[in-house]
Chain A
Amino acid sequence: MTRANTLVNEPTIYEIRVKGRLDEKWSEWFHNLTIHFENENPPVTVLKGAIADQSMLRSILNKLWDLNLTLLSVNVNN
Chain B
Amino acid sequence: MNSSLIATKLYIPRPPVDLVSRPRLLEKLDNALQQGCGLIVLSAPAGAGKTTLLSEWIDSPISDKNTQFSWISLDEGDNDSAHFMAYLLAAIQTVIPHFGESFPIGLQSLQPAQMEALMTLMINELSGLTNRLILVLDDYHLIHTQKVHSTLAFLLEHRPWNFHLVIAARADPSLPVALLRSRGMMTEIRLGDLRFTPAETASLMKLLLDRQLPDDDVLALTSRTEGWAAGLQMAAASMRESEDISAFIRDFSGSNRFILDYLVEQVLQQQPPFVQEFLFKTSILERLCPPLCETLVEIHLSPEDIHSLGLPDSLNAGSPSSQAVLEYLERSNLFIVPLDDHRCWYRYHHLFTDLLGQRLHQLHPQSIPELHCRAARWFAQNGFMAEAIDHALEGKDFETAANWVEEVVEKTMMRSEVVTFLDWVERLPEPFIKDRPLLCINHAWAMLLNGYPGEMIEARLEILDNADDLFTGKTLSLRGYLAIFRGQNSQAIAFAKQAMELLPKQDSFFRSLSAVVLGAALYSEGDEKAGAQAIEMAARVSMGMGNVMIQVIVLVYLAELYRKQGQLHKAYSLYQQALERATQEKGKKLPIAGRVLLGMGEILREWNNPRAEEVLLEGIELSGQWGSVSTLSGFFSLAHIFMAQNNWAKANDLAQKARQLAYYSNITEIDDLIVDIFQARLWIEQGNLSAAREWFMTEGLYRDIDIDEMEKKDDFIAYHMRKYEYPVAMRLWLAEGRFIEAQAFLEGLLIKLEKWERPLLVIENRILLALALYGQRKIEPAINQLEIALRLAEPEGFIRIFLNEGETLHALLKLTVDKLETTSLRVYGQRLLQAFSSGVIQSEKREISEKPSALIEPLSDREMDVLRLLASSLSTPEIATELVVSVHTVRSHIKNIYSKLDVHNRIGAVERGKELGLL
Please report A residues at the B interface, Cβ cutoff 8 Å: 20-23, 25-26, 28-29, 40-41, 43, 45, 63, 65-69
The answer, among B46, B259, B362, for a CB contact under 8 Å with A20, is B259
Interface contacts beyond A25-B358, A67-B258: sample of 10 additional A-B pairs, CB < 8 Å, sorted by A: A20-B259, A21-B256, A21-B258, A23-B258, A28-B358, A29-B358, A29-B361, A67-B260, A68-B260, A69-B258
Using Cβ atoms and an 8 Å threshold, which residues of chain A touch B257? Answer: 20-21, 23
A64 to B355 Cα, complex, angstroms: 12
* Contact status of A68 and B351, CB under 8 A, knowing A22-B258, A23-B257, A40-B256: yes
Can you list 22 residue pairs at the A/B interface with Cβ under 8 Å? A20-B256, A20-B258, A20-B259, A21-B258, A22-B261, A23-B258, A23-B261, A26-B258, A26-B261, A26-B358, A28-B361, A40-B256, A43-B256, A45-B258, A65-B45, A65-B170, A66-B350, A67-B258, A68-B45, A68-B46, A68-B230, A68-B259
A66 to B170 Cα, complex, angstroms: 8
| Interface check B228, CB cutoff 8 A | yes
| Interface check B614, CB cutoff 8 A | no
| Interface check B410, CB cutoff 8 A | no
A69 to B351 Cα, complex, angstroms: 12
| Interface check B634, CB cutoff 8 A | no
Using Cβ atoms and an 8 Å threshold, which residues of chain A touch B177? Answer: none
Using Cβ atoms and an 8 Å threshold, which residues of chain B touch A41? Answer: 256
Whether B351 pairs with A66 at a CB distance below 8 angstroms is: yes
> Residue among B255, B256, B257, B358 with the most chain A CB within 10 A?
B256
Using Cβ atoms and an 8 Å threshold, which residues of chain A touch B157? Answer: none
A28 to B260 Cα, complex, angstroms: 17
* 5 nearest A-B pairs in the assembled complex, by CB-CB distance: A43-B256, A68-B45, A22-B258, A29-B358, A21-B256
Q: B314-358: which have CB < 8 Å to A? A: 350-351, 354-355, 358
Q: Residue on A with the closest CB to B44?
A: A68
Whether B256 pairs with A66 at a CB distance below 8 angstroms is: no
Using Cβ atoms and an 8 Å threshold, which residues of chain B touch A43? Answer: 256
Q: Number of B interface residues, CB 8 Å? A: 21
A28 to B354 Cα, complex, angstroms: 13
Using Cβ atoms and an 8 Å threshold, which residues of chain B touch A67? Answer: 46, 258, 260, 351, 354-355
A33 to B291 Cα, complex, angstroms: 38
A45 to B46 Cα, complex, angstroms: 20
A50 to B47 Cα, complex, angstroms: 30
Using Cβ atoms and an 8 Å threshold, which residues of chain B touch A28? Answer: 358, 361-362
| Closest Cβ–Cβ distance, residue B231 to chain A (whole Å) | 8
Using Cβ atoms and an 8 Å threshold, which residues of chain B touch A45? Answer: 258
Q: B204-244: which have CB < 8 Å to A? A: 228, 230
Whether B46 pairs with A66 at a CB distance below 8 angstroms is: yes
Using Cβ atoms and an 8 Å threshold, which residues of chain B touch A66? Answer: 45-46, 170, 350-351, 354
| Interface check B750, CB cutoff 8 A | no
Q: Residue on A with the closest CB to B265?
A: A23
Q: Residue on B with the closest CB to A68?
A: B45
| Interface check B870, CB cutoff 8 A | no
Q: Residue on B with the closest CB to A40?
A: B256
| Interface check B171, CB cutoff 8 A | yes
Using Cβ atoms and an 8 Å threshold, which residues of chain A touch B255? Answer: 21
Q: Could you mark each residue 12-49 of chain B with 1 if its beta carbon is under 8 Å from any beta carbon of chain A, else 0?
A: 00000000000000000000000000000000011100
| Closest Cβ–Cβ distance, residue A29 to chain B (whole Å) | 5
| Closest Cβ–Cβ distance, residue B663 to chain A (whole Å) | 32
A29 to B356 Cα, complex, angstroms: 11
A64 to B257 Cα, complex, angstroms: 15
Q: Residue on A with the closest CB to B231?
A: A68
Q: B603-627: which have CB < 8 Å to A? A: none
Q: Residue on B with the closest CB to A25?
A: B362
Whether A68 pairs with B47 at a CB distance below 8 angstroms is: yes
Using Cβ atoms and an 8 Å threshold, which residues of chain A touch B351? Answer: 66-68
Using Cβ atoms and an 8 Å threshold, which residues of chain A touch B261? Answer: 22-23, 26
Q: Residue on A with the closest CB to B365?
A: A28
A65 to B47 Cα, complex, angstroms: 11
Whether A68 pairs with B228 at a CB distance below 8 angstroms is: yes
Using Cβ atoms and an 8 Å threshold, which residues of chain A touch B45? Answer: 65-66, 68
Q: B247-263: which have CB < 8 Å to A? A: 255-261
| Closest Cβ–Cβ distance, residue A5 to chain B (whole Å) | 14
A43 to B254 Cα, complex, angstroms: 12
A16 to B256 Cα, complex, angstroms: 18
Using Cβ atoms and an 8 Å threshold, which residues of chain B touch A29? Answer: 354, 358, 361
Q: Could you mark each residue 766-785 of chain B with 1 if its beta carbon is under 8 Å from any beta carbon of chain A, else 0?
A: 00000000000000000000
| Closest Cβ–Cβ distance, residue B294 to chain A (whole Å) | 28
A25 to B255 Cα, complex, angstroms: 17
| Closest Cβ–Cβ distance, residue B475 to chain A (whole Å) | 28
